[in-house]
Amino acid sequence: MNSEEISSGYIAPITTENISQDFTDVSIVHTSEYNVLARAQRYGRWYMLKGLNDKARHDILPQQMLRKEFEILVKLQHPNVVQTMGLEQVEGLGTCIVMEYVDGVTLKEWETPALPQQSEGSETVRSKNKESEAVRILDELLQAVAYVHSLDIVHRDLKPQNIMVTRNGAHVKLVDFGLADTSDFAMLKQQAGTANYMAPEQAAVAKPDLRNDIYSLGVVMSEMPLPKYYQKVWSRCLLPIERRYQSIEEMKTDIERHRTLKVRMASWGVAAVVAVLLCMVGLLIWRVNAMDNELNRVAYAKEAAIEALHEEMERTQLTKHTDTLTMWKYRWPDLTQRVMAVNQYCYDYADRLDERFSSADRDRILEAMLSEWQKWQQRINALSTAKVADERRQQVLVEKDE
């Protein structure tokens, strides 16, 4: 296969043209008393370079501090801690720590974004979303600090400006370990920190303590849009060193305890609301039934009265007797007395109705009972009429014979 065939189609020869290990597009981002931060590109990828400014570049102490920061950073491999690639000589900047470039904003910028005026409803939704996101950001921040502490490293300058929030996914990146320290270094011990975020003892004692960072975290948390139950957590972070959390793990455990209690209380609140709603629904049903009973009191009473009449007829066996009665001569001798007794039962039943029923109501109920009772009496009358007709036929036959 010749070179012409290789370079045709989708396959192209590998070339090193325009590829350089040197940093390009170098731009200064920030300059401090000793350091300079620059953004630069290499192999199409952006990096952050941290070096010394012109004044400090020839001073031995800043050089040692930069070297110390690199030796601390290069140990760190965590998704929420800025990644360090190496220590290199960069043209125009001198010795620089080469770190990943974090495309994002500081936590301070994230907390106070410049947003257009919104309606009250959308502002409430945005506030809730911000609160939920703040909880997740804090969880990632605590994971990062816990990891750093597990390597016996104290950051000593935790503040919103040193906590990056990525644009893609809003993930935490802990940066700027310029004041970080560990017991591995016997030299370069100094009081350090940023006012308002630095623990009180940190200004007087050069020896690093993990609890220094816990104090700073408390101040950072107090400025974040976190749920109210976090106030108890960050308040404890700000206590004197002996009374504050002794480790990040203890702090995380307490946060989880408050969070679980909050969820439990919310569940109790929902259960209470549901119970109240059920009571209200039950009361409503009862009221509806009561109103229905009141509106249909007489109708229900009529049904009950007719049912009582049938029970009385069954008790006296009148129904059974008339169902089997085929001829009038087979009727009970006391049938008439029994019929009159049931008839009286109807009147007695109406008289025994309670005070809820007026005289007019009682009359309507009695009328319903007597109407039902008359249906049965009509059968007796029909049977009695058949008896009279039969006797008349017998008389006619006798007269003919004569």
For 368-377, write each residue's pLDDT tens digit: 888 888 887 7
Q: How far apart are CA 198 and CA 194, in angstroms?
A: 5
pLDDT at 1 exceeding the cut of 90: no
- Residue where the block lists tokens 């609890």: 211
Q: Which range, of 8-22, 263-277, 339-353, averages the lowest pLDDT? A: 8-22
Fold designation for 104-113+124-295: Transferase(Phosphotransferase); domain 1 (1.10.510)
Summarize the confidence of residues 215-223 as an average pLDDT: 96
- Average pLDDT on 181-210 reads 77
* Helix, strand, or coil (residue 120): helix
pLDDT exceeds cutoff 60 at 79? yes
Q: What is the reported pLDDT for 6?
A: 45
For the chain, give the number of residues. 402
CB 262 within 8 A of CB 229: yes
19/66: higher pLDDT: 66
Of residues 17 and 288, more confidence is placed in 288
Angle between helices 120-150 and 248-295 (to 10 degrees): 150
Per cent of the chain over pLDDT 90 is 43
| pLDDT-derived band at 5, boundaries 50, 70, 90 | very low
Mean of pLDDT values over 339-350: 87
| Token duo for residue 265 | 């209380």
- Among 76-85, 149-158, 327-336, which is the least confidently predicted range? 327-336
Q: How far apart are CA 288 and CA 294, in angstroms?
A: 10
User: Nearest-CA neighbor of 221 among 135, 133, 127?
Assistant: 135
**Gap between the Cα atoms of 99 and 103, Å rounded:** 12
- 23-101 architecture in CATH? 2-Layer Sandwich (3.30)
Amino acid at 50: K
pLDDT score of 133:
94
Q: Which pLDDT value is given to residue 151? A: 95
Strand 153-154 relative to strand 163-166: parallel, antiparallel, unpaired? unpaired
pLDDT tens digits, one per residue of 101-135:
999 999 999 988 654 555 555 555 556 688 999 99
340 has a pLDDT exceeding 90 = no
Please tell me the least confidently modeled range out of 160-164, 170-174, 325-329, 331-335: 325-329
Residue in 235, 77, 202, 48 with CA at minimum distance from that of residue 151: 77
pLDDT, mean over the chain: 83
- Identify the bridge partners of residue 87 per DSSP, sorted by sequence position: 97
- Convert 16-55 into a string of H (helix), E (strand) and C (coil): CCCCCCCCEEEEEEEECCCEEEEEEEECCEEEEEEEECCC
Distances (CA, A) of 3 to 12, 13, 17: 10, 9, 18
Can you give the pLDDT at residue 3?
47
Better-predicted residue by pLDDT, 357 or 72: 72
Helices (H) and strands (E) in the chain, counts: 11, 10
Q: Do 68 and 156 touch, CB atoms closer than 8 A? A: no
Whether 7 has a pLDDT exceeding 50, the answer reads no
Residues contacting 212, CB < 8 A, separation 6+: 154, 156, 193, 198, 199, 201, 202
Higher pLDDT, 362 or 184: 362
Residues 80, 376: Cα–Cα separation, whole Å: 94
Q: Is the pLDDT of residue 9 over 50?
A: no
For the full predicted model, state whether its pTM sits above 0.75: no
Looking at the predicted structure, is the pLDDT value of residue 90 above 70?
yes
Query: Which token pair is 66?
Result: 């930069």
pLDDT at 186: 46
In tens, the pLDDT along 249-285 reads 999 999 999 888 766 666 666 777 877 888 888 887 8
* Contact predicate 129/154, CB 8 Å: no
- Integer Cα distance of 263 and 45 in angstroms: 44
What was the pLDDT predicted at 73? 95
Check pLDDT > 60 for residue 26: yes
CA-based nearest residue to 69, from 32, 99, 93 = 99
Comparing CA positions, the residue from 138, 155, 162, 183 lying closest to residue 76 is 155
- Examine the pLDDT at 18 and tell me if it is beyond 80: no
Return the percentage of the chain with pLDDT > 70, whole number: 80
Nearest to 220 by CA among 276, 140, 310, 300: 140
Q: What is the residue extent of each domain of the chain?
A: 23-101, 104-113+124-295, 297-401
Helix (H) or strand (E) holding 106: strand 104-106
Report pLDDT for 47: 96
DSSP string of 81-95, one letter each residue: B--EEEEEEETTTEE
3-state SS assignment for residue 226? coil
Mean of the pLDDT values across residues 375-381?
75
**What per-residue confidence (pLDDT) applies to 95?**
94
Two tokens, residue 248: 């990040």
